[in-house]
Amino acid sequence: MSSDMRPVIGLEVHVQLTSLRTKLFCSCSADYRGAPPNTHVCPVCLGFPGALPVVNRKAVEHAIQVCLALNGTVAKRLRFDRKHYFYPDLPKNYQITQYLEPICSGGYVEIETSGGRTKKVRIRRINMEEDPGRIVYPGGSPLTSPYALVDYNRSGIALLEIVTEPDLESPEEAVEFLEKLRSILEHLGVCDCGLEGAMRVDANVSIAGGDRVEIKNIGGFHEVKRALAFEITRQRDILLKGGKVRRETRHWDPVRKVTLPARAKETEEDYRYMPDPNLSPVKIPTSLVERLRQSLPELPDARARRLAEQYGLRSDVAKVLVKRKVLADFFEDAAQLYKGDYRRMANYLVNDLLNWLKDEDLRGLYTKVKPEHLAKLMQLLDKGVISIRQAKEMAEHIAKEGKDPERLVQELGYTRITSREELEPIVEQVLEENKKAACDAKKNPKAINFLVGMVMRKTRGRADPSLARKLVEEKLATIQC
């Protein structure tokens, strides 16, 4: 790809502070998901005249923690502005946000690129702001719905807007950044990013020769990758044909897999920012910032290094574990119940169980699949009761049905055959069915592997491999060719 056609990507990530019980400026419950429309509202979050906002102290503390975890600089004072725009999901016709003095400036997140090198994605700013309401299209999309409805339950939810510098150069890098950011937020305990709408992305994309285009409200990392790939292709096609990419806001249609024009892109002046007169600036004490810095939990990079050192894991496996906090927690809880080959346990969790848990976004961990399940499975392997092949076959049952491995071994008939009396007739049958191979094996010992493999196949992997080989060698000695 020529450098002049390389995309420049910056992200605006909107993160709900789902750990809070109430909204940012009022005492309405923040647990709005699944509630009937417009039942978690009050005069403050509905923007009634005369209703006065009061800042949620815990939200400020969480914002400071995020700033510190992202290597940013915390502001000296807390100040809010009004951002004016007119849209049905904003009942006040302005949003309380931060403009001139964000609570955090600077910072960075380190990611690994496809080439294996480390890259710093710079953070420009982090703003505290209130979430708008949610527009519902009964027909499924703005294009197919005859009308729109508005649910204000989400209005006023505490939100962080994390804005990057335009340091990303591909959809893959954007997804890598989002996965790393999600892991940091989960380790901080401030956001359950798996909840619907808890982490939403606006992407700004441009290519040399064209203006910047913003894609609004992309949900899900796979959709971010698809939306960016489509928009990059669309802009390149326009430029290659001699056209002009104009500054605008577009929406991503996840059904048709295309971006659609929404409106001409506003400039900063269009929003008519002004200090919010109802929220006086407040000094942020240095002592508070230092207390929160000292209370930061172990973050993903440090945890990955510790897991590799403490449990002897490969660094790439440790990094996969910490991509989702629940996955790393599950591994460490299982490790407390099992003393043995931690590397094999981690590989099984990442390469086998995880394949079947993806559809549930790991919500099956702890609720359906327990740490003791993984520990028991490893113990069965250590004792030779099951083979690694059988363990892999059991992964789907454990993940989807949450079955105890010991019970599952009995149900599937996976008990290991370690008795000579039970295995001997099977070996004799294999030699009888493969007389030519048996004769070849008497001349070439390497051919014995085929016969042992046939024994393993006939027993569906239940035969003890060393015993099977020993019996094959004994029976071969008695065969006349």
Q: What is the CATH number of the domain that holds 467?
A: 1.10.10.410
- Give the model's pLDDT for residue 219: 83
pLDDT tier for residue 360 given thresholds of 50, 70 and 90: low
In this prediction, residue 145 has a pLDDT band, given cuts at 50, 70 and 90, of: confident
DSSP-derived 3-state class of residue 128? strand
- What percentage of the chain carries pLDDT values higher than 90? 68
Mean predicted confidence (pLDDT) in 201-223: 91
- The confidence band for 359, taking pLDDT boundaries of 50, 70 and 90, is low
Question: What is the rounded distance in angstroms from the CA atom of residue 136 to the CA atom of residue 230?
Answer: 25
Query: Long-range contacts of range 99-103, CB-CB < 8 Å, 24 or more positions apart?
Result: 99/127, 99/273, 100/273, 101/75, 101/77, 101/281, 102/75, 102/126, 102/127, 102/128, 103/60, 103/63, 103/64, 103/67, 103/74, 103/75, 103/78, 103/127, 103/128, 103/284
* Residue 481: inside a domain: no
- Rounded to whole angstroms, how far apart are CA atoms 116 and 112? 6
Question: How far apart, in whole angstroms, are the C-alpha atoms of residue 250 and residue 218?
Answer: 11
**Given 368, 391, 412, which residue is the final one in a domain?**
412
Instruction: For 80-93, give one letter per residue: b (16+ CB within 10 A) or e.
Output: bbbbeeeeebbbbe
pLDDT band at 459 (very low <50, low <70, confident <90, very high): confident
- State residue 384's pLDDT score: 80
Asked if pLDDT for residue 385 goes beyond 70, the answer is yes
Same domain assignment for residues 69 and 162: yes
Tell me which of 292-306, 368-382, 446-460 is least confident.
446-460
- 8-state DSSP, 350: I
Residues 265 and 369 in one domain: no
Going by DSSP bridges, is the β-strand pair 118-130/108-112 parallel, antiparallel, or unpaired?
Answer: antiparallel
Sign of the alpha-carbon torsion through 438, 444, 445, 448: negative
**Do 316 and 199 belong together in one domain?**
no
User: Are 280 and 307 members of one domain?
Assistant: no
Distance CA 353, CA 5 (A): 41
**Is the confidence at residue 2, as pLDDT, over 70?**
no
Same domain for 7 and 77?
Answer: yes
User: Tell me: the pLDDT tens digits for 18-77?
Assistant: 999 999 999 999 999 999 999 999 999 999 999 999 999 999 999 999 999 999 999 999
Given a cut of 90, whether residue 474 has pLDDT beyond it is no
Whether residue 390 lies inside any domain: the answer is: yes
- Please check whether residues 241 and 360 belong to one and the same domain: no
202 and 347 within one domain: no
Say whether both 117 and 185 belong to one domain. yes
Task: Report the domain count for the chain.
Answer: 3
Nearest-angstrom CA–CA distance, 411 and 468: 24
Q: Which of 368, 395, 412 is the last residue of a domain?
A: 412
Q: Do 339 and 282 belong together in one domain?
A: no
- Interval 161-188 mean pLDDT: 97
Residue 8 has pLDDT above 50, yes or no: yes
> Rounded mean pLDDT of 170-193?
97
Mean pLDDT value of segment 113-123:
90
Give the confidence band of 443 by pLDDT, cuts at 50, 70, 90. confident
Distance in angstroms (rounded) separating the CA atoms of residues 12 and 203: 6
Query: For residue 214, what are the domain limits?
Result: 3-291
Q: Are residues 346 and 436 in the same domain?
A: no
pLDDT for residue 1? 46
* Residue 89 lies inside a defined structural domain of this protein: yes
Across the chain, mean pLDDT equals: 92
- 399 and 440 fall within a common domain: no
Asked if residue 86 belongs to a domain, the reply is yes
Domain boundary among 262, 291, 320: 291
- Indicate whether 370 and 397 sit together in one domain: yes
Task: List 259's β-bridge partners, or say none.
Answer: 252
